[in-house]
Amino acid sequence: MARILGIETSCDETAAAIVDDRTEVLSSVIASQIEVHRAYGGVVPEIAARHHVEAISPVVRRALDDAGCTFDSIDAVAVTSGPGLIGCLLVGISAAKAIAWSRRLPLLAVNHLEGHVRSAFIEQPQIEYPALALVVSGGHTALYLCPEEGVYRTLAKTRDDAAGEAFDKVAKLLGLGYPGGPVIERISRGADANAFELPQAQMKDGSLDFSFSGLKSAVRRLVQDEGLVDAGADGEVPQRARDLAASFQKSVIRVLVKRTLRISRRESVRSVLVTGGVACNGALRAAFEEAVSREDLSLYIPAPRYTTDNAAMIAAAGFLHLDRGAHAGLDLNADAAMKL
Query: What are the pLDDT tens digits along the chain (340 aa)?
Result: 899 999 999 999 999 999 999 999 999 999 999 999 998 888 999 999 999 999 999 999 999 999 999 999 999 999 999 999 999 999 999 999 999 999 999 999 999 999 999 999 999 999 999 999 999 998 899 999 999 999 999 999 999 989 999 999 999 999 999 999 999 999 999 999 999 999 887 777 878 899 999 999 999 999 999 998 988 888 789 999 999 999 999 999 999 999 999 999 999 999 999 999 999 999 999 999 999 999 989 999 999 999 999 999 999 999 999 999 999 999 999 999 999 9
Domain assignment present for 330: no
pLDDT of residue 1: 83
pLDDT of residue 205: 81
Domain assignment present for 123: no
User: Beta strand 76-82 with 107-111: parallel, antiparallel or unpaired?
Assistant: parallel
Residues 133 and 255 in one domain: yes
d(CA 317, CA 319): 5
Inter-CA distances, 50 with 11, 54, 60, 77, 230, Å: 12, 7, 16, 22, 31
pLDDT of residue 232: 83
**188 CB contacts (<8 Å, ≥6 apart)?**
242, 245, 246, 249, 283
Domain assignment present for 139: yes
E runs forming strands in the chain: 3-8, 13-20, 24-32, 76-82, 107-111, 131-136, 141-146, 153-157, 271-275, 298-300
Can you state the percent helix, strand and coil of the chain, rounding each to 5? Answer: 45, 20, 40
Domain assignment present for 335: no
pTM value is 0.94
Give the strand order in the sheet containing 271-275.
153-157, 141-146, 131-136, 271-275, 298-300
Residues 140 and 258 in one domain: yes
Residues 273 and 152 in one domain: yes
Residues 234 and 165 in one domain: yes
The gap from C-alpha 267 to its chain's centroid, in whole angstroms, comes to 24
**205 CB contacts (<8 Å, ≥6 apart)?**
none
Residues 143 and 260 in one domain: yes
pLDDT of residue 233: 82
Domain assignment present for 329: no
d(CA 136, CA 241): 24
Inter-CA distances, 340 with 212, 221, 298, 309, 317, Å: 21, 35, 23, 17, 13
Q: Are 269 and 297 in contact (CB under 8 A)?
A: yes
Residues 69 and 166 in one domain: no
Domain assignment present for 142: yes
Nearest to 311 by CA among 167, 90, 122, 134: 122
Nearest to 300 by CA among 324, 326, 328, 269: 269
The sign of the dihedral angle between the CA atoms of 286, 288, 292, 298 is negative
Domain assignment present for 134: yes
Nearest to 9 by CA among 37, 29, 39: 29
Q: Are 6 and 312 in contact (CB under 8 A)?
A: yes
Residues 249 and 295 in one domain: yes
Residues 108 and 238 in one domain: no
Nearest to 253 by CA among 287, 220, 214: 287
The gap from C-alpha 334 to its chain's centroid, in whole angstroms, comes to 18
pLDDT of residue 204: 77
pLDDT of residue 78: 98
Q: Are 298 and 111 in contact (CB under 8 A)?
A: no
d(CA 248, CA 143): 21
pLDDT of residue 68: 98
Domain assignment present for 337: no
CATH number reported for the structural domain that contains residue 89 in this entry: 3.30.420.40
SS3 state at 326: coil
Which bin fits 55, alpha (ψ -120 to 50), beta or left (φ > 0)? alpha
pLDDT of residue 77: 98
Give me the number of domains the chain comprises: 2
Residues 144 and 206 in one domain: yes
Inter-CA distances, 295 with 128, 147, 281, Å: 15, 19, 22
pLDDT of residue 201: 76
Q: What are phi and psi of 196, to 5 degrees?
A: -130, 135
d(CA 316, CA 325): 15
Residues 109 and 143 in one domain: no
Residues 211 and 277 in one domain: yes
Domain containing 88 equals: 3-118+306-323
Inter-CA distances, 51 with 15, 87, 91, 96, 168, Å: 12, 11, 10, 17, 22
Residues 105 and 147 in one domain: no
